[in-house]
Structure 1
Amino acid sequence: MTIVEPTITPLIVPVSLDAENAADFRACAALNRQICDELVGLPDLAPDAEEMLPGWQDETDALHRGFVARIGDEIVGMITLYLALEAEAHAIEFDLLVPRAHWGRGIENALLARAEAEARTHGRNVLQTWSMHRPMEAERMLVPRTGWGRVPATPLSDLVESDGYVLEQVERNSEYDLHGDPEPLREALTAATAFAGADYRLVEWDMPTPPELRAGFAAVLARLSTDAPSGDMDFAEESWDADRVVRREARILSAGQAVSVAAVQHVPTGELVAYNELVIAADRTGVTDQYGTLVSKDHRGHRLGTIVKCANLLRWRELMPRATVVSTFNAEENRPMLSINEAIGFVPVSYAGAWQKKI
């Protein structure tokens, strides 16, 4: 293909999706879904515009930025960037969105350079991005620095590798069939509850979180940024309190999403020490995302991960009978969580590579 120099302009964040200037924002969401479909056949891995907009509008806890590449009037690619606002945050995360039809024309190189320029503008010295991969073997397989998992090389992985990025980690994307036999969930939940004993009790709720649980939920959400396996990816410890929980939930609910939370409370201390979140878009017939599952380090070994996963899946089947599958990502080195998934019926459908470059 002929190398071209695209025109790159900032992505406008509209006040609403009905606004006159909302077309590019809608196009960004559509392009993201198109690329997920092209790369791994799973368009629902990307959020729709309704899910995206509240997070982009609220800059209290994080910043979102985007840029649109055009040749003439045609959109040929985009890049979206995410910046955590914690004082110790060093990284800028981005998604490079160039469809197959325009790859190889230099558009991806121009947008990659824009990401690095934005990192410097915001005083960040680490860039991070994720590549998507089908579950297949290829002539050239890539192994991350963790040593866990492997993924086939793709045009995006070739691009970032040539620009100095390092493959730090591989994540497995698994799906659970919500219309399958629930008996394995019930059996696993019964056994895990008995194993955990009387010091732990299950707590469940629909978002918004009850006021009396917000501070405890904030504490366990904060641990996800530090306790979950992340290889050598430079993630800042997130600062959470009850007010941030309220802000987060307002963004999620304003997009028409529904959320179920299953948590485990440590009875002697009253602390929430494990949780699982299931989230679905306004279309209740689509794919459910598992936003997070975590067991606090001090309480591992009591099968609390099995409790929150199984309890929430059983609850979700009742709450969302038209939902199809649950999609989740786990680090390949997170063998305890993957073992739970495999035992209750999750199957691998794609993989993600976590890439990092320090500047």
Structure 2
Amino acid sequence: MDIRALDDTALADDVVMRDFYDVNRRAQLHGRLHAPFWEFGEFLGAFRSTDSGERQELFAAYDGDRMVGNAVLWSFLLDNTDKAWFHLSVDVPERRRGIGRALAQRLEQTAKDDDRSLILADAILPFDDRECHAHQRFAAACGYELSNYEVVRHLPLPVPDEQIQEWIDEAAPRHAGFTVQTFVGAVPDDLVESLCVLLGQLAVDAPTGAVDFDEEAVTPQRYAEMVATTAAMGRARYETVALTPDRQVVAQSTLAMSLEQSTKVYQWGTFVHREHRGHKLGLATKAVNLRAVQTMRGDLTLVITQNAETNNYMVSINERMGFRPIEVAAEFVKRL
């Protein structure tokens, strides 16, 4: 078994990346065949896009010419430079051969050589088997500690428009003076700076378990790269924001949906500025954004979101809107 770093030539090779995607898909859907999973084109768009705030490194484990496992390592470049994050997959028939452990050790050494002192990973676990699942045991065997649980929740669509209006009406009296607007793609240039400030606060204010994060450096360049990545994935990005009278973004909710086959919608974030909480801006932006995507496409079937179990405010909004818990995203950490 040979572990190879995949260079830019490999990244540009559709055959190599198809193998990478297929191994990842089989591994991630094992035991959860009906779970949402991105299409190959969405995967390519994401992995071939640029983020000036992170370095992406791909690794693949081969048995001869056959890819049997793979991993992605993301290293933060503008903030939290003591940390790196990875995602690891081993093809189902190839498990219990030491491939996962070998990949993890390669990633740890790569991070250590880059002067990273913390390495993080995640795994999806069944909601009612989080403590004893094989992924949990594998992480512990490799020396990782549980850092955080995020609960993955689904909202079946369509939601009746009368129900959405009820949520909007419920929130409206609490945010008089604020304006709620929706944009498809990038927000107008005059909103980018305050939106970037808001997005950067998420890493600090949202619950992150046993690991503390510094505020994220979301620059206008990185924001433009985020928008470009969404387009490269063949997805539409819906951004609903709450604005103060002087047009400062103080709350946001982002939904992304495929422009082609998939009928799934991904909730990429909802966040309210720490100085403007208590005005039901989270509920307002989520409800208005949901109405926008349903108006655009009448065939949508599901919204997928996840939040830390301890994020009581956002969990209460999701429960209010009818999201139901499906599985758990476990986050693990190891000190190098």
TM over 0.5: yes
Q: Matched residues in 2 for 1:152 and 1:83: separation?
A: 28
Q: Matched residues in 1 for 2:208 and 2:80: separation?
A: 17
For residues 228-247 of structure 1, what are the alpha-carbon distances to aligned partners after superposition, in whole Å with 9 as ceiling and x for unaligned? 11122243421123232222
Deviation at 1:85, TM superposition (A): 0.8
SS in 2 for 1:348: strand
Q: Matched residues in 2 for 1:125 and 1:210: separation?
A: 39
Deviation at 1:47, TM superposition (A): 6.2
Deviation at 1:42, TM superposition (A): 4.7
Task: Give yes or no for contact 2:41–2:233 (8 Å, CA) kept in 1.
Answer: no
Q: 1:26 aligns with which of 7, 15, 18?
A: 18
Q: Which residue number in structure 1 is paired with residue 241 of structure 2?
A: 263
1:358 maps to 2:335: yes
Q: Matched residues in 2 for 1:271 and 1:11: separation?
A: 42
SS in 1 for 2:190: helix
Q: Which residue number in structure 2 is paired with residue 148 of structure 1?
A: none
Task: Give yes or no for contact 1:68–1:79 (8 Å, CA) kept in 2.
Answer: yes
Query: Structure 1 residues 50 and 293 mapped into 2: Cα distance closer, same or farther (>3 Å)?
Result: same
1:222 maps to 2:200: yes
Deviation at 1:255, TM superposition (A): 2.6
* TM-score normalized with structure 1 length: 0.87
Q: Which residue number in structure 2 is paired with residue 325 of structure 1?
A: 302
Deviation at 1:163, TM superposition (A): 2.2
Q: How does 1:1-359 map to 2 (within 5 A)?
A: 6-14=1-9, 21-46=13-38, 48-136=40-128, 138=129, 151-196=130-175, 198-267=176-245, 269-359=246-336
Deviation at 1:14, TM superposition (A): 4.6
Deviation at 1:226, TM superposition (A): 1.6
The share of aligned pairs that are identical, in percent, is 25
Matched AA of 1:342:
E
For residues 191-212 of structure 1, what are the alpha-carbon distances to aligned partners after superposition, in whole Å with 9 as ceiling and x for unaligned? 111222x222202111122222
Q: Matched residues in 2 for 1:336 and 1:118: separation?
A: 38
Q: Matched residues in 2 for 1:45 and 1:299: separation?
A: 35
Q: Matched residues in 1 for 2:271 and 2:34: separation?
A: 25
Query: Structure 1 residues 235 and 42 mapped into 2: Cα distance closer, same or farther (>3 Å)?
Result: farther
Deviation at 1:177, TM superposition (A): 1.3
RMSD between superposed Cα atoms in Å: 2.0
Aligned length: 336
Task: Give yes or no for contact 1:127–1:356 (8 Å, CA) kept in 2.
Answer: yes
Unmatched 5+ stretches in structure 1: 1-5, 139-150
Q: Matched residues in 1 for 2:272 and 2:239: separation?
A: 14
Query: Structure 1 residues 53 and 235 mapped into 2: Cα distance closer, same or farther (>3 Å)?
Result: farther
Query: Structure 1 residues 36 and 25 mapped into 2: Cα distance closer, same or farther (>3 Å)?
Result: same
Q: Matched residues in 2 for 1:80 and 1:115: separation?
A: 9
Task: Give yes or no for contact 1:227–1:296 (8 Å, CA) kept in 2.
Answer: no
Query: Structure 1 residues 156 and 353 mapped into 2: Cα distance closer, same or farther (>3 Å)?
Result: same
For residues 71-95 of structure 1, what are the alpha-carbon distances to aligned partners after superposition, in whole Å with 9 as ceiling and x for unaligned? 1222111111111111542111111
Query: Structure 1 residues 66 and 169 mapped into 2: Cα distance closer, same or farther (>3 Å)?
Result: same
Unmatched 5+ stretches in structure 2: none
Matched AA of 1:154:
H
Matched AA of 1:283:
E
Q: Matched residues in 1 for 2:271 and 2:50: separation?
A: 26
Query: Structure 1 residues 56 and 125 mapped into 2: Cα distance closer, same or farther (>3 Å)?
Result: farther
Deviation at 1:122, TM superposition (A): 1.6
* TM-score normalized with structure 2 length: 0.93
Decide which moves more: 346-355 or 182-191: 182-191
